[in-house]
Amino acid sequence: MIMPIHDPVRIGVYVCHCGMNIASRVDVEDVRAFAQSLPGVAAARTYKFMCSDPGQEMIQKDIKEHGLNRVVVASCSPLLHEHTFRRACAAAGMNPFYLQMANIREQVSWVTPDRAQATRKARALIHAAVRRVADHYPLAKERVNVHPAILVVGGGIAGIQAALLLANAGKKVYLVEREPSIGGHMAQLDKTFPTLDCSACILTPKMSQIRTHPNITLWTYAEIEEVAGFAGNFKVKVRRKPRYVKEELCVGCSECVSACVFKEGRVSDEFNQGLSKRKPIYMPFPQATPNVVVIDPRSCLKIMRGKCAMKCVEACLRAAIDFEQREEHAEIEVGAIILATGYRTFDARKIPEYGYGRFPNVYTMLEVERLVNAAGPTGGDITLRDGARPQTVGIIHCVGSRDRRHHPYCSNVCCMASLKMAHLVKERTGAEVFNFYIDMRATFKGYEEFYDQVLREGVQFIRGRVAEVTDWAIRSAEKGKLVIRVEDTLVGVVRRIPVDMVVLATAMEPQEDAAAVQRKFNISCSQDGFFLERHPKLGPVSTFSDGIFLAGVCQGPKDIPASVAQAGAAAAEALCLVDKGFVEIEPNTAFIDEAACSGCRTCIPLCPFQAITRDAVKGVAVINQALCKGCGTCVAACPSGAAGQNMFTDAQIYDEIEGVLADV
Amino acid sequence: MSKPKVGFYWCASCGGCEESVVDLAEAILDVAAAVDFVFFPVAMDFKRSDVEAMADGAMAACMINGAIRSSEQRAMAKLLRRKAQILIAYGACSHQGGIPGLANLFDRQSILQTVYRDTPSTVNPGDIRPEASTRIPHGEVELPVLDEQVKSLDQVVPVDYYIPGCAPPVQLLKDALAAILTGRLPPKGSVLAPDKALCEQCPRAPSKPDNLLIDQFKRPHLERIDPEKCLLAQGFLCLGPATRGGCGWACINANMPCTGCLGPVSRTRDYGGAAMSALASLVNSNDEAQIAAMLETIVDPAGTFYRYGLPASLLFARAGANADKGGHEP
């Protein structure tokens, strides 16, 4: 693996001005002269833009004319241009891994204001790179074939959109959803802003396409257990929870639900946000996909106590009910993964002054979505808990968002959702509607116009963060009502607005298990807990793990159009990877020097990719090069220096350290 | 033909290294037949003046055990280096600084204060300290000066070979003598011992699990030790994975964990660092507080992981090379 070069080392050092980015802080000519003086350096030059064609040609010319066998480019971060310069070196006939970059922009000129100090720092980094590059040896990238199937995790609108696009492109797609039905939050909504088209009408055709598409395997009520492998070759274990109903036999007639020994619903209905009760055997919602009933093991008498008349079994003409069903485990291989795991809503109880959970007529936005919906618990009638129609309704924005006590970020959709809700409530009940907002954010296509429309419809807008929702009446008009106390910052007075119903526009927040999912897929989270994209501008759906892409709210709060657009982008990225057919693997893998390994096994349990095994015959550790991701954990832990890593050998690291400290 | 001349000298050492020569048992007769001992203060009556009288390079080989921590030891090391064709650092103290090297955790002042004033057995009402030069009625007498830092032999003079161990295993000494007598020596700078860690062929290796993670660190004098099972797998801090083999598993066979006296293999720059990062990696927890609590149970980490090699560690290698340039060398 290590092929020493016997020719004397001849290094070329190229110091980039990066326009004024570097040259304004670093004395590039001084640095060049310093580099020229270092042992082994055969040529040292500066140029305005080393990454430009003339810059690259300068390096290539020197490789040929000066017989260079090592190149150091002192410019920006290797994340930006390492590939550029590797390509340039390779085109001139040099092994691209004889290149080393010294980052004198991000690590020097952009962060060190003093010119003398910056110049000294640049010298030190170049000295380190020159010392290190002498120890480099040729390496080659390996090509690995890509598995053509794609996994989509999460069956909300983002996951549905990505899965359909990929399946329509002829790719095999696995769509895994944790709930018994796909549809996600969008299936719970009544109408969508700003066009007011019916959410179900635009979503359910897509849901049924998922169900019938020949290229899609849909696993609902299933969770990802384990992810191993790497871009192009992931191995994923999926756990399918028992629904106690044979999916392939059930036609969704729901005769079993009517027959259940419980005549009335007993358990709070998740889909209706607890505003109605369901039976232990239930259909999640009328358009549930797959249209298959499910038995809840936490309330079914047969499962909990083993005793029940089992009327459901009697009622099912297709013998689909199966109390013997057990958890199933499936293992699939995919080339790319799209995470579309969505969000949960902020728990309004965390802001006790708004009274959610204390006052029956304080609702969350999602609850009122169900009340407005014709398929909801009231058949679309907006009524209070006692069945009365509200005369006045207050909608409070930013509940849990833009709040230092909870989430500093803006949840992006609440302004528009609140406007839509104001419109629907007014339309259905004729009630007077107040919106309490901090700033109105209506920034995308048609949004401002919709705001304008709702204003014209006579909805009242009060600018100010609500201080309190109380039932303490101090005027007769407030008796029996909820009073919203708020400083109207446009007028400059504290107001008390009595209402019958309060709607809280709760924040979007990361799923409860987002951190566990993040670890499972080996990706990163941003500070707010949402999954982190590779680059906010240029890699918005990629992650720091190659082959894993993001779509929808799991990456950050966004509305349906943005989620769908991102799903399209993620599908395109996954398609690019899978259709290319191969991935190139950076040769920074670890290896074991068999002659040095004592077989102590320290490294084996540490490998996060399970790439290390023990050769029982030779009594040494063996690293599977295809599984190794080059994290270096085993190399650092090896107590006898038997584990090494390409591109990071001990000699390279020590020489780099000595170089950087040479002038200290 | 005259027999090759050999010297054996001690510096800051305990005498264990001399014992290891005695451990040659009857084989010592073969050695005595093959070489002439021309300097061996522990066993034979030669004086320093005898060495000074030798021509440079007169000794074929000289072995020095013990660390270097006084002006006299430094002077002797330099003298013997001149007189010997091959200079061998013998034993852990000479090789890596050894147990005396733990003195580098303190400065000279506090060591002298502890020894000449603070220990309960000290009676020193005049607070008298050793001086380089003291006037007595008969004239002026001189004492060696204690150095600021303890050093390994190669931090004072160039060393050709190392025989590791505390004390060196007899087999290593036999092999080294055979190599010197036959002239079949490896490249200069080599440690004359195998270059693989102790776990290689350890009699307990079969009982070590592939996925060993440690839940609790144990101390050998407080627990019953299973005589068959891998000591690390039992939770004892066995430093075998980081330590050069060649001792014949002497401690392991005596049911005690390896304490690392043969030092690192050639590829390791800092023995303690390597041993610590390996052991810390095996802690079976991902919780920071829990990990800290577990590591807290390792009593005296410096004395555990740098027991035989603090002066040769990265912490002291540079400082050791620069300190004590001057001083009185009698």
Cβ B281–A614 below 8 Å, yes or no?
Answer: no
Residue B317 confidence (pLDDT): 59
Those residues whose C-beta lies under 8 Å from the C-beta of residue B244, and which sit 6 or more positions away, are B164, B191, B193, B194, B195, B196, B197, B198, B262, B263, B264, B265
Q: SS3 of B269, please? A: coil
Residues 6+ apart with CB under 8 A from B1: none
Question: Which of A599, A614, A640 shows the shortest C-beta gap to B267?
Answer: A640
Q: Do A637 and B240 touch (CB under 8 A)?
A: no
Burial state string for A11-45 with b = 16 or more CB within 10 A and e = fewer than 16? bbbbbbbbeebbbebbbbeebbebbeebeebbbbb
Considering only the C-alpha atoms of chain B, give the largest distance between any 2 of them, rounded to a whole number of Å.
71
How close, in Å, is residue B53 to chain A by CA atoms? 43
The predicted pLDDT at position A2 comes to 47
| Percentage with pLDDT > 90 across chain B | 85
| Residues on chain A touching B264 (C-beta within 8 angstroms) | 640
B185 and B264 share one domain: no
Q: Which helix H or strand E contains B276, and what residues bound it?
A: helix B271-281
Same domain membership, residue B57 and residue B166: yes
The candidate with the shortest Cα–Cα distance to A573, out of A229, A336, A339, A332, is A336
Are B268 and B162 members of one domain? no
User: Is the same domain home to B164 and B232?
Assistant: no
Question: A275: which 2 tokens?
Answer: 């505003």
Burial pattern A390-425, b for ≥16 Cβ within 10 A else e, equals: bebbbbbbbbbbbbeebbebbbbbbbbbbbbbbbbb
Cβ A238 vs Cβ A227: under 8 Å: no
Task: Locate B126 and state its tokens.
Answer: 């005049």
Residues B39 and B184 in one domain: yes
Give the DSSP H/E element, type plus range, for residue A267: strand A267-268
Q: Is the pLDDT of residue A647 over 90?
A: yes
Looking at the partner chain, which of A596, A605, A642 has a beta carbon nearest the beta carbon of B212? A605
- Provide the 8-state DSSP code for B154: G
- For A651, the closest chain B residue by CA position comes to B267
Q: Which residues of B touch A602 (CB under 8 A)?
A: 212, 241, 278, 281-282
Shortest alpha-carbon distance between residue A640 and chain B (Å): 5
Residue B309 lies in a domain: no
A213 in contact with B, Cβ within 8 Å: no
Q: Would you say residue B306 lies in a domain?
A: no
Q: Are residues B287 and B266 in the same domain?
A: yes
- Test B199 with A598 for CB contact under 8 angstroms: yes
| Eight-state DSSP code of residue B169 | P
The whole-chain average pLDDT of chain A stands at 95
φ, ψ dihedrals at B12, nearest 5°: -80, 90
Q: What pTM value is reported for the model?
A: 0.72
Q: How far is A589 from chain B (nearest CA, A)?
A: 19
Please give the structure tokens belonging to residue A645.
Answer: 């890593």
What pLDDT, in 10s, does the model give residues B230-267?
999 999 999 999 999 999 999 999 999 999 999 999 99
Q: Is residue B235 part of a domain?
A: yes
Confidence of residue B320 (pLDDT cuts 50, 70, 90): very low
Q: Show the tokens assigned to A641.
A: 């220096």
In chain B, which residue's Cα lies nearest the Cα of A596?
A: B196
pLDDT attached to residue A301: 94
- Residue A613 pairs with which residues in a beta bridge? A622
Identify the residue whose tokens are 């006045």: A392
Question: What range defines the domain where residue B227 resides?
Answer: 205-299
pLDDT at B328 over 70: no
A313 pLDDT more than 90 = yes
CA nearest B194 in A: which residue?
A596
**Residue B13 shares a structural domain with residue B89:** yes
* Average of per-residue pLDDT across A643-664: 93
Q: Are residues B187 and B270 in the same domain?
A: no
What's the CA gap between A480 and A392, in Å, rounded?
A: 12
Please give the Cα distance from A285 to A187 (Å, whole number). Answer: 9
Assess whether B290 and B267 both reside in one domain.
yes
Share of chain A above pLDDT 70, in %: 99
Strand-pair category, A643-645 with B161-163: unpaired
- CB-CB under 8 Å, B212 with A640: no
Cβ–Cβ of A637/B277 closer than 8 Å?
yes
User: What is the distance between the alpha carbons of residues A357 and A583, in angstroms, rounded to a whole number?
Assistant: 53
Nearest to A69 by CA among A154, A120, A10, A24: A10
Q: HEC states along A343-408?
A: EEECCHHHCHHHCECCECCEEEHHHHHHHHCCCCCCCCCCCCCCCCCCCEEEEEEEECCCCCCCCC
- Interface probe with A: pick from B210, B239, B314, most Cβ of A within 10 Å: B210
User: Is B278 a member of any domain?
Assistant: yes
Segment A552-568 mean pLDDT: 97
As a whole number of angstroms, the distance between CA A506 and CA A354 comes to 11
Give per-residue pLDDT as tens, B6-32. Answer: 999 999 999 999 999 989 999 889 988
pLDDT score at B1: 57
CA distance A530 to A242: 30
Please compute the mean of the pLDDT values over residues B203-230 and round it to a whole number: 93
Q: Tell whether B177 and B221 lie within a shared domain.
A: no
8 A C-beta contact, residue B236 and residue B225: yes
Q: In this structure, are residues A137 and A2 in contact, taking their beta carbons and an 8 Å threshold?
A: yes
Cα A303 from Cα A392, distance rounded (Å): 46
pLDDT in tens, A260-295: 999 999 899 999 999 999 999 999 999 999 999 999
Q: Residue A519: enclosing H or E segment and its boundaries?
A: helix A514-520
Chains A and B form CB pairs within 8 A to the count of 79
Digit-coded pLDDT (tens) for A148-167:
999 999 999 999 999 999 99
Whether the link from the prior residue into A290 is cis, omega within 30° of 0, is yes
**CATH number of B76's domain:** 3.40.50.700
What the block records as the tokens of B109 is 């002042």
Residue B330 lies in a domain: no
Q: Where are the alpha helices (DSSP H) in A134-185?
A: 157-168
C-alpha span between A486 and B122 (Å, rounded): 80
The answer to whether B238 touches B208, Cβ cutoff 8 Å, is no
Return the closest-CA partner of residue A288 out of A441, A155, A436: A155
Interface residue A582 vs chain B (CB under 8 A): no
pLDDT for the residue B325: 47
- pLDDT for A1 beyond 80: no
Task: Please report the residues numbered 514 through 543 in chain A whose beta carbons come closer than 8 angstroms to any beta carbon of chain B.
Answer: none
For an interface test with B, the pick among A2, A520, A597, A598 (most B C-beta atoms closer than 10 Å) comes out as A598
**Pairwise CB contact (< 8 Å): B210 & A614:** yes
Which domains are delineated in chain A?
Answer: 1-141 (3.40.50), 142-241+327-342+511-585 (3.50.50.60), 255-315 (no CATH), 347-509 (3.50.50.60), 589-645 (3.30.70.20)
Contact with chain A for residue B3, Cβ under 8 A = no
Q: What is the pLDDT of residues B130-179, one digit of tens each?
A: 999 999 999 999 999 999 999 999 999 999 999 999 999 999 999 999 99
Residue B329 has a pLDDT of: 42
Mention every residue, 6+ apart, whose C-beta is less than 8 A from residue B208. A600, A601, B199, B230, B232, B233
In this predicted structure, what is the pLDDT of residue A7?
A: 72
Chain-centroid distance of CA B75 in Å reads 19
Cβ within 8 Å of B, A 590-649: 596-602, 604-606, 613-614, 619, 633, 636-642
Mean local confidence (pLDDT), A437-445? 95
Residues B48 and B96 in one domain: yes
Closest CA to B80 of B64, B98, B96: B64
pLDDT at B319 over 60: no
Question: Into how many domains does chain B fold?
Answer: 2
Q: CA torsion angle for B239, B242, B246, B252 (degrees, to 10)?
A: 20
Tokens of A131: 């010392």
Lowest mean pLDDT among A12-26, A48-62, A457-471, A607-621: A607-621
What is the pLDDT confidence band of residue B227, given thresholds at 50, 70 and 90? very high
Q: Identify from B252, B265, B269, B304 which residue to disrupt to test chain A contact, counting A C-beta atoms within 10 A and taking the largest count.
A: B265
Residues B165 and B185 in one domain: yes
Q: Which residues pair with A434 in a beta bridge?
A: A394, A460
**Dihedral (CA of B92, B93, B96, B101) sign:** positive
Distances (CA, A) of B242 to A180, B162, B250: 53, 18, 16
* pLDDT, tens digit, 9 for 90 and up, residues B20-72: 998 999 988 998 899 999 999 988 899 999 999 999 999 999 999 999 999 99
A285 CB-contact burial (10 Å; exposed 0-12 / middle 13-18 / buried 19+): buried
Taking phi first (over 0 means left), then psi (-120 to 50 degrees means alpha), and beta for anything else, what does residue B249 get? left
Describe the strand order of the beta sheet including A173-176 as a list of residue ranges.
A216-219, A173-176, A150-153, A336-339, A548-550
Tens-place pLDDT, residues A166-207:
999 999 999 999 999 999 999 999 999 999 999 999 999 999
Say which of A597, A636, A639 has its CB closest to residue B242. Answer: A639
In a domain, B13, yes or no: yes
* CB distance A483 to A470 below 8 Å: yes
End-to-end Cα distance, chain B: 36
Best residue of B191, B196, B270 to probe chain A, by most A CBs closer than 10 Å: B196
Residue ranges of alpha helices (H) inside A235-326 are 255-259, 301-305, 311-315
Residues of A in contact with B201 (CB under 8 A): 619
- Whose CA is closest to B8, among B56, B49, B71, B51? B51
DSSP string, B50-91: HHHHSPTT-EEEEEEESBEEEHHHHHHHHHHHHHEEEEEEES
Pairing relation of β-strands A267-268 and B139-142?
A: unpaired
Point out the residue among B208, B209, B274 whose CB comes nearest to the CB of A639: B274
Q: What is the mean pLDDT of residues B82-110?
A: 95
Please check whether residue B56 lies inside any domain of the structure.
yes
Other C-beta atoms lying within 10 Å of the C-beta of residue A437: 21
Query: What are the backbone dihedrals phi and psi of residue A362, each rounded to the nearest 5 degrees, phi first?
Result: -100, 120
Q: What digits encode the pLDDT tens for the residues A326-355? A: 999 999 999 999 999 999 999 999 999 999
User: Which stretch of DSSP H or E encloses residue A87?
Assistant: helix A78-91
CB count in 10 Å sphere of residue A353? 12
Supply the pLDDT for residue A354.
Answer: 97
- What local confidence, expressed as pLDDT, does residue A468 receive? 97
Q: Decide if B211 touches A, using CB distance below 8 A.
A: yes
Contact B36, B4 (CB under 8 A): yes
Pick B241's closest partner by Cβ from A596, A640, A650.
Answer: A640
Mean pLDDT of B194-217: 93
Does position B98 have pLDDT exceeding 90, yes or no? Answer: yes
Chain B residue at shortest CA distance from A633: B281
% of chain A residues with pLDDT over 90: 93
Structure tokens at A55: 């810059």
**Distance, CA of A288 to CA of B72 (rounded, Å):** 91
Confidence band for A586, pLDDT divided at 50, 70 and 90: confident
What residues of B are in contact with residue A639 (Cβ under 8 Å)?
A: 197, 241-242, 268, 274-275, 277-278
Q: What is the mean pLDDT of residues A46-73?
A: 96
**What pLDDT does residue A329 have?**
97
pLDDT at A664: 72
Q: Where among B163, B193, B223 does a domain terminate?
A: B193
Give A185's contacts (C-beta < 8 A, 6+ positions apart): A156, A342, A343, A366
Q: Which residues of chain A lie closer than 8 angstroms to B233, CB-CB?
A: none
